[in-house]
Amino acid sequence: MKFNEEIEIKKNLEDKKELYLRMMNALEEENHILRASDTDALWKMNSVKNEIASRIEKKRKDMIDLVNKAGIKNDLDYDSFSLDRFIALFEKSNFFHEYQKLENDMKLIKTKIWNLQSVNRQFVEEYLKTLDELVSVIVQTGTNKSYSRKKSFAAKTGGLILSQEV
């Protein structure tokens, strides 16, 4: 493998790591936006995340194309890219240890990304569940008995806006 190809691979790995860092930062920002209940900012952040994800996917394709162009025999494809398999192609490279370090850094960042995604998803699910419960109390759905004005549990009475058995 030529020296300039090794440098280009290293640059692609560094670029991909930077994109993962941006995604991690976007998810951290999304968490703050979710807690602030700012729907406009949430839509904008969703666009930012989609743009970063597209760039990560393009970088993956660029890396596979670079390996193919260099004539390195591989079993990589665009749909099932594996960074482990990609790095393993360069065991004899002068930059192999640098590639491995970048790979390990990306694995840590990706773990943080998965954790942030999970936290944000859980927050949204709990928020929606709370809203659903609040709406059902407001519209008096279900068969729960209401707490009447006589301070006893009775069948639901008209005119109560927020009442629910506790």
CATH number at residue 38: 1.20.58
Q: How many domains does the chain have?
A: 1
- Is 161 among the domain residues? no
In a domain, 114, yes or no: yes
Domain for residue 158, yes or no? no
109 is written with which tokens?
């960042």
CB proximity list for 71: less than 8 A, separation 6 or greater: none
Q: Tell me, yes or no, if the pTM score tops 0.85.
A: no
Average pLDDT, the chain: 88
Q: Is residue 120 in a domain?
A: yes
- Amino acid 58 reads K
With 0-12 CB in 10 A as exposed, 13-18 as middle and 19+ as buried, what is 16? buried
Between residues 128 and 144, the one the model is more confident about: 128
pLDDT in tens, 70-108: 999 999 988 888 999 999 999 999 999 999 999 999 999
Place of tokens 């009775």: 154
Mean pLDDT of 123-140: 87
Q: In this structure, what is the dihedral angle of CA atoms 50, 53, 54, 57, given to the nearest 10 degrees?
A: -160
SS3 154: strand
Residue 137 resides in a domain: no
